[in-house]
Structure 1
Amino acid sequence: MPAAGRSWSLGALAALVAFAFSWVPSYWADEVATVRAARLPPAELLEFTTRYVDAGHTVYYIALHYWSALFGFSEAATRGFSALGVGVAVALTALIGQRLARPRLALAAGALLALMPRLTWAGTEARSYAWTAALAAAVWLLLLIALDRGGWWWVALGAAAALSVAVFLLIATLLIAQLLFVLLGSRRRAWLPLVVTWAAALAAASPVLLMGWLERSQIAWIGPKGAFTPWTVLVEPAGELAWAYSFAVWIVLIVAAARWRRVLRAGSGWLLLAGCWVVVPFAVTITASLIGSPVFTSRYLTFAMPGLALALAAALAALGTRRVVASVAIALVLLALPAYVGQRLPFAKPRESDLRLVAQTVQAHAGAGDAILFAPGRARESLFAYPQYYRGMVDIAVKTPFPASGSFSDRTVPLADRAARLAGIRTVILVIPRHGTPCTQTRDAAALRAHGFTPTDGYPTHREVVCRFEHAGNGG
């Protein structure tokens, strides 16, 4: 099989590995935002993101909108799109290695990327992270081709760079990375066409860049400068929650650095590219966070992980005999395996999200015409993530629904201000946090009792309790 065919075959296998059991965990808050946005018609979506929030994710949302028009909005469908992105990233990473004249090492880099916990996580996330890795790899591959062939390949690089920045703004840091790669390598004269190409790309993506800057307050959640810890900088970017895997990666890189002559057998261009791809985005985002607005968080650096896979492949090759290399590679796989399994458990998402279980429990104990009410908290997102389970129910708390609310959440009002909507309602389903006040003692329960409703049952989920209230006098 030709080298390119092997790369794409590896990418297809990586996509299947990323996709396997990705549908098991429930959606969580960020994915709910994705689903809500992608369900909008493109014109309405564009109006929402440009006026209110998430302009930097508009291109991804539109792409997922059309993908979901074919495959639906189930977890398997939306996360399958991300798994496809993982496969493309792996294939392109292997092609980059082959372009640098090391076919076997290139396939090793692709395989290492496919099994990296950050990428196997990205394949289970209905967000753009997997595609940021794929687009970054495309930008680097097109640079290598443009350096060799020139001409219209610079135009292709510019188009890919513009699309990449429009999908994820921080990919703009690759301008600095690629400029360093050219200036420190053997193609110094190419700096001018590279700068011109990137200038055109940034100009094309400038509307998204401008709107992203204007909406920068939405990432204030990243936190203060104290958020930089050994865990967030050294463990999470590649290993996600697998600290042992990240520790092993660092050991391999350190040992290989001590054997730098062997590492150089991979080629100075290989190492320079890998180093620029990883170091520059980290350095820029950390520096920007220290002196200005916070932009560093580990998952934002997913697009740099193919570069780390290239560096890790070269480091592995420098360790010694084939037996040693194989042993270390197997150890890395085994250390990554717990993270892979953990990412695919039912409550694997942040805050052990159980939105699907909440929706299924509500459906099992309610019907059309019943009212649904959520206590303050994340549980209300179940209504948006799994609307099929709430079909026919009355959302009595909503005042201004998405997208008119200007955010990914609906504006709601207290039950006391919506009492008139209880007329004719016989059953109210109240969802409250499981480890909090019992069904009968919440503020909403008191308001329901004041209007003649009596609590009958409570059905606990993983993090919530689905409470059922009945009114003997309402209904027919």
Structure 2
Amino acid sequence: MTSVIAPHLVAPPVPGRRLWRRLSPAWSAGLVGLVTFLVSFAWSWQPSYWGDEAASVMSAERSLPSLFGMLENVDAVHGLYYLFLHGWIDLFGASELATRLPSAIAIGVAAAGTVVLARFFMGSRVAIAGGLVFAIIPRVTYMGSEARSTAIATAIGVWLTVLLVHAVRSSAGSRRRQILLWGSYSVLLALGIYVFLFLALLLPVHAVAVLVLGGRHPLWRSVFFWVGASAIGLLLAAPIVLAGSAQREQIAFIGRRPQVSVSEAAVMQWFDTIPVAIMAWSLILVAVIAVFLRRPGRPLSAGLPRRTGLTIFLAWMLVPSAILLIGTHLIAPMYSLRYLSLCAPAVGIVIAVGVAALASNWLRVASVLALVAVIVPAYAVQRGDYGKNEGSDWRQAADIIAARATPDDGVVFDQSVRPSRLPRLAMHLYPNAFAGLRDVTLTRPYADTTWLWDEVAPLTDVLPSVVNLNTVWLLQYSGSADSRKETDVHTLQLQGFRVADTTLVNRTRIIEMTR
């Protein structure tokens, strides 16, 4: 019976494959980065904002004193990103295209780093393929089109790992060079933790990398330098670690969610849908079988044993996930899908190894086409009008208000849902649509608070505010069964209003009430 796994991962050179060898490492990494940027950037402006992006944009639009006051109470772990976005919005505005662009750029940078990293352990074709597979992973295309810090943190994580491998490989160099490399590692590690606290999950992975690379390089020296550099990096990041610990109640919502099973994580963590997960895990299994479960072949073209590289990438995939899953079940809720986004570069590389391990070109082409085919529907959903947070529709709701409301109308927002789905946030993300409307229940705008959101009062407590209004618009979250929504309608009816029209957008219900 013919095996579907190739006898080795680096095929003998043939004339049709010379193009890969003509591309310099810098050019191939740059081109993959550009393609990845375009994949993430394309139609990124199409979906409406959602709650986490509202936190980013609204925080960044505060004055600096207001922002620093907020960070003392909440979201300190995102403070550096909010400061960056503050300046970015001053330059480019707060549209979806503008605020999501940095994430697309960061994903391109991460893809370039993925190619550079993979080249340490394998040939050019597999390294380039790893970068391109990374580009289309659903978790990657999602975070590359989102105004959050995850994509930037992923880029830092990739290049931090590149720096680590380069430092270990150069461990026999001069002391001055070692100090420069490991000092850079400390600074980049600290920066990454300031951008995204959970980037510290890469440290156990880097411990594995140092140990498995020690067979080829002076182990004691590498361990000594890595431990020292990591300690300095953590010391530099201590302020944000302490701030995050002090504000840990902010992620208490994780404990109110059903605990994630291993099977759910296997699908949703990176792949979004079951067909994508089946294809991806099948290729990952092929990679493991080809590398570990047969007689060792010759080393890959970069000069390192292929088992070494795959061990590092598998550790990168699995160790952070295992830490969060085990910690959630045994200690306290800490697992969230997006926290493991920084493992996606390793996922792309291992899948590419699986493709390269297949025995013939037609199998490789078929596997890639099948992978792309199952990813395209997920990509299309992400780029739809309602591609964020299972159907956020705030821009579309704002468009209806802009078209139908008139200045001096009142507006009342449903407060019965969790903050990330509050219809009120539409007013801050698309302020032009609500210009001139009277916010009936507002008691204190968010920019004057040390919290993320506005302070509001129940409608029944501010009835004098509607006395002189002829029209009031109610924006309600349709997925909530809270009785307060009906109470708001009934309260206005008692004040002489009637329901003139009701419009369901996607999950936002707009009720026009007139006297």
Distance in 2 between the 1:152 and 1:341 partners? 45
SS, match of residue 399 in structure 1: strand
Distance in 1 between the 2:490 and 2:443 partners? 21
Q: Is structure 2 residue 66 aligned with structure 1 residue 44?
A: yes
Deviations 1:5-46 (A, max 9, x none): 221121111111111111111111111111111112334322
Distance in 1 between the 2:255 and 2:264 partners? 12
Match of 2:191 in 1: 163
Match of 2:289 in 1: 258
Distance in 1 between the 2:297 and 2:87 partners? 44
Structure with greater contact order relative to length (CA < 8 Å, sep ≥ 6): 2
Q: How does 1:171-320 map to 2 (within 5 A)?
A: 171-186=199-214, 187=217, 188=219, 189-223=221-255, 227-239=259-271, 241-260=272-291, 261=294, 265-266=299-300, 267-320=306-359
Change (3 A) 1:228 1:419: closer
Change (3 A) 1:193 1:466: same
Paired residues of 2:70 and 2:452 also in contact (CA < 8 A): no
Distance in 1 between the 2:93 and 2:319 partners? 38
Paired residues of 1:132 and 1:302 also in contact (CA < 8 A): no
Q: CA deviation at 1:342?
A: 1.0
Unaligned ranges ≥5, structure 2: 1-22, 171-176, 301-305
Q: How does 1:353-372 map to 2 (within 5 A)?
A: 353-372=392-411
Paired residues of 1:132 and 1:167 also in contact (CA < 8 A): yes
Q: CA deviation at 1:202?
A: 0.9
Deviations 1:117-167 (A, max 9, x none): 110111222212212211110110111222225231211111110010111
Paired residues of 2:208 and 2:312 also in contact (CA < 8 A): no
Deviations 1:96-129 (A, max 9, x none): 1223352222111100100111101112222122
Change (3 A) 1:454 1:245: closer
Match of 2:112 in 1: 91
Match of 2:57 in 1: 35
Paired residues of 1:232 and 1:298 also in contact (CA < 8 A): no
Change (3 A) 1:5 1:282: same
Paired residues of 2:66 and 2:448 also in contact (CA < 8 A): no
SS, match of residue 227 in structure 1: coil
Question: Normalising to structure 1: TM-score of the pair?
Answer: 0.92
Distance in 2 between the 1:8 and 1:203 partners? 33
Match of 2:178 in 1: 150
SS, match of residue 457 in structure 1: strand
What count of residue pairs does the alignment treat as equivalent? 467
Q: CA deviation at 1:405?
A: 4.2
Q: CA deviation at 1:444?
A: 2.0
Distance in 1 between the 2:198 and 2:263 partners? 21
Distance in 2 between the 1:252 and 1:224 partners? 35
Q: Is structure 2 residue 365 aligned with structure 1 residue 323?
A: no
SS, match of residue 319 in structure 2: helix
Q: Is structure 2 residue 72 aligned with structure 1 residue 56?
A: no
SS, match of residue 363 in structure 1: helix
Change (3 A) 1:434 1:178: closer
Match of 1:410 in 2: 454
Change (3 A) 1:3 1:184: closer
Match of 1:350 in 2: 389
Distance in 2 between the 1:363 and 1:421 partners? 22
Q: CA deviation at 1:435?
A: 6.8
Paired residues of 1:78 and 1:126 also in contact (CA < 8 A): yes
Deviates more, 1:57-66 or 1:225-234: 225-234
Q: Is structure 2 residue 374 aligned with structure 1 residue 335?
A: yes
Distance in 1 between the 2:479 and 2:377 partners? 28
Match of 1:474 in 2: none
Pick from 16, 22, 40: which aligns with 2:44?
A: 22
Change (3 A) 1:431 1:225: closer
Distance in 1 between the 2:120 and 2:89 partners? 34
Match of 2:8 in 1: none
Deviates more, 1:261-270 or 1:169-178: 261-270
Paired residues of 2:100 and 2:146 also in contact (CA < 8 A): yes
Match of 2:443 in 1: 399
Q: CA deviation at 1:407?
A: 3.0
Q: In the alignment, residue 330 of structure 1 is paired with which amino acid?
A: L
Paired residues of 2:80 and 2:194 also in contact (CA < 8 A): yes
Deviations 1:296-339 (A, max 9, x none): 12221000110121222222221212222222122111111111
SS, match of residue 296 in structure 1: coil
SS, match of residue 359 in structure 1: helix
Deviations 1:373-412 (A, max 9, x none): 1133421221122112111211110112214444322121
Match of 2:29 in 1: 7
Paired residues of 1:49 and 1:58 also in contact (CA < 8 A): yes
Distance in 2 between the 1:443 and 1:101 partners? 64
Unaligned ranges ≥5, structure 1: 472-476
Change (3 A) 1:314 1:101: closer
Deviations 1:170-215 (A, max 9, x none): 1112222112211222232211111111111111111111111111
Deviations 1:423-455 (A, max 9, x none): 433322122344789xxx932233323333343
Q: CA deviation at 1:54?
A: 1.1
Deviates more, 1:332-341 or 1:251-260: 251-260
Deviations 1:238-262 (A, max 9, x none): 20x2211111111122233222247
Q: In the alignment, residue 381 of structure 2 is paired with which amino acid?
A: G
SS, match of residue 509 in structure 2: strand
SS, match of residue 468 in structure 1: strand
Paired residues of 1:361 and 1:459 also in contact (CA < 8 A): no
Q: Is structure 2 residue 485 aligned with structure 1 residue 453?
A: no
Q: How does 1:75-154 map to 2 (within 5 A)?
A: 75-100=96-121, 102-147=123-168, 148=170, 150-154=178-182
RMSD, matched Cα: 2.2
Paired residues of 2:143 and 2:150 also in contact (CA < 8 A): yes
